[in-house]
Amino acid sequence: MADGEGTDTPEDEEPELTKPDELVALHTVTTELFEILRRWFAVPDEVSLDLTEIDSAVREMGDPVMIAALAMRKLQALHLIATPGVRTTTDVVVTIVQDLDRALLQAPVMRLRLAAETTDWDAALAELEAGGSAEAPASADAEDPEAQRFRMLHALLHAAVEAVLRASDGEIRIFV
């Protein structure tokens, strides 16, 4: 090999990029999404994974609480890499948001299904008849403000990915 051929020197490395504002903003966005998932699904402070065998995850992956817990773990990772000064790369940001996407898309509906499955309908109807339940929507097709907020926060994850891809020109780059 000729002198210097095939070796990487510091001059050959691309400079690290500053995290786009949209990525840094995820620091607070992930905190809010994390707390909403905890509240919606009553996720405990600690969860255990069944690693007994390869098929052990089948039951867990259908459990809304476990799905929310795993999404919360990904939010913790995204929270960390959104912190200024913490090094990350384009592909890590894209992958974490992609991993979160399905759970976050399904969360508002899973929340309603879980609530429907765990509601004491006799007590709920009695409360409605007694004029209670200030949380009842004005109409059957009224939008849930908390679900709207959740969806808006979820959209900010995609905005951050787009900003990271723009800043890196679609290449895998290091951000600090």
User: Does residue 132 lie within any of the structural domains?
Assistant: no
pLDDT band for position 134 (cuts 50, 70, 90) = low
CB 65 within 8 A of CB 43: yes
- What is the dihedral sign for C-alpha 8, 166, 26, 65? negative
Count structural domains, the chain. Answer: 1
Mean confidence (pLDDT) of the chain:
88
User: Does residue 136 lie within any of the structural domains?
Assistant: no
Q: Provide the pLDDT for residue 155.
A: 98
Q: Provide the pLDDT for residue 9.
A: 46
Write the CA distances from 100 to 30, 68, 73, 74, 137, integer angstroms. Answer: 11, 10, 10, 7, 29
Q: Provide the pLDDT for residue 92.
A: 98
User: Does residue 171 lie within any of the structural domains?
Assistant: yes
| Average of per-residue pLDDT across 114-126 | 73
User: Does residue 88 lie within any of the structural domains?
Assistant: yes
User: Does residue 126 lie within any of the structural domains?
Assistant: no
SS3 155: helix
- Bridge partners, residue 4, by sequence: none
- pLDDT at residue 106 is higher than 80: yes
User: Does residue 110 lie within any of the structural domains?
Assistant: yes
Compute how many other C-beta atoms are within 10 angstroms of the C-beta atom of residue 81: 19
User: Does residue 10 lie within any of the structural domains?
Assistant: no
Higher pLDDT, 17 or 3: 17
Q: Provide the pLDDT for residue 20.
A: 98
User: Does residue 7 lie within any of the structural domains?
Assistant: no
Question: What is the 3-state composition of the chain as percent helix, strand, coil, each rounded to the nearest 5?
Answer: 60, 5, 35
- Domain interval for residue 33: 16-45+63-120+147-176
Q: How many helices (H) and strands (E) does the chain have?
A: 7, 2
